Amino acid sequence: MAFLGRALSTNASSRLFRSLSAPLGPNILPSGQPRSTPLGPHHWDHTTVVPSAAMSLQPSTTGCVEATQPQQQQPGSTQQPLPHIPEVHNRELAPALEQLLGPLNSTPLLPPPKPVVIIISGPSGVGKDAVVQKLKEARGDLYFVVTATSRPRRPNEVEGRDYFFVDRPKFEGWIKDDMLLEHANVYGDYKGIPRQQVDDALKAGTDVVLRIDVQGAATVKRLMPEAITIFVTAESERSLVTRLASRRTEDMNKLALRVQTARDEISRASEFDYIVENGTGKLEKCVSQMSSIIDAEKARTARRMAPSRS
């Protein structure tokens, strides 16, 4: 039985090969011309099934593979043939390409980023000082402007690091001489940004960070529309009050004034470009988001590709 099965299989294969070659016939060439020497009925010629080297195999609609002739450029076509490119070593690639395409431009495709002003603001007690200090530790490429104030220095505050502490008459002299980029009266004390710090840093090509209140942020934004404004908020008003109370620097009346002012400032958060939450115990996350905002803003096409001003 096994021998009979193999015999039937062999006969079926023979019939399949004969059916494949049937359209041309064993004595007809692929070109349609008869052979000069006819082949016998059991002679199978490979030329009837093997495509020539100039053909390519393509799948047909029947699922079989058909041989097709390579496409030739049509007469009258405007498409120009590619020039012959000789093989070259890597060190010779640029000169070879210049022979084909002309000189290669070595000018940087991306101009250096322009310095930006970053404004960090938010309600009192939200932790702006802690955010700025942590950002300063993480980003040595930024210049942090030191704000001037007429209020008394608190414990652990350092002159020239946290603020420039000046008396009221001196501060008012700075206002008169237009030495401040912006200034405001906050809870009965002056605060302001020395103009010279900002101008010098920008001329040196350094990004500038300003830590100012909401009122001052609005003033600087009007003067510098391209400045990046970031509003820092707490997770809730109750959390904000807890932070203010933990300072133990104000009595109940002053604390109530700060909370009311914070409410007014939070209502203006929509005026800022970005808002970041400084949640309790999540200072590093807040600073990481802020750093990402700065990097993304500096990579914006409008900032990198904008024409330089004269």
What are the residue numbers of the active site?
154, 247, 258
The values of phi and psi at residue 80, to 5°, are: -90, 140
Amino acid at 9: S
Q: Is 163 helix (H, G, I), strand (E, B) or coil?
A: strand
Which whole-number Å values give the CA distances from 121 to 10, 88, 228, 274, in the listed order? 89, 59, 11, 10
SS3 141: coil
Distances (CA, A) of 56 to 20, 50, 51, 52, 68: 19, 11, 8, 8, 5
Contact 206, 144 (CB under 8 A): no
Long-range contacts formed by 287-296: CB under 8 A, 24+ apart: 287/131, 287/134, 287/135, 287/138, 290/120, 290/131, 290/135, 290/230, 291/135, 291/138, 291/139, 293/228, 293/230, 294/116, 294/118, 294/139, 294/142, 294/207, 294/228
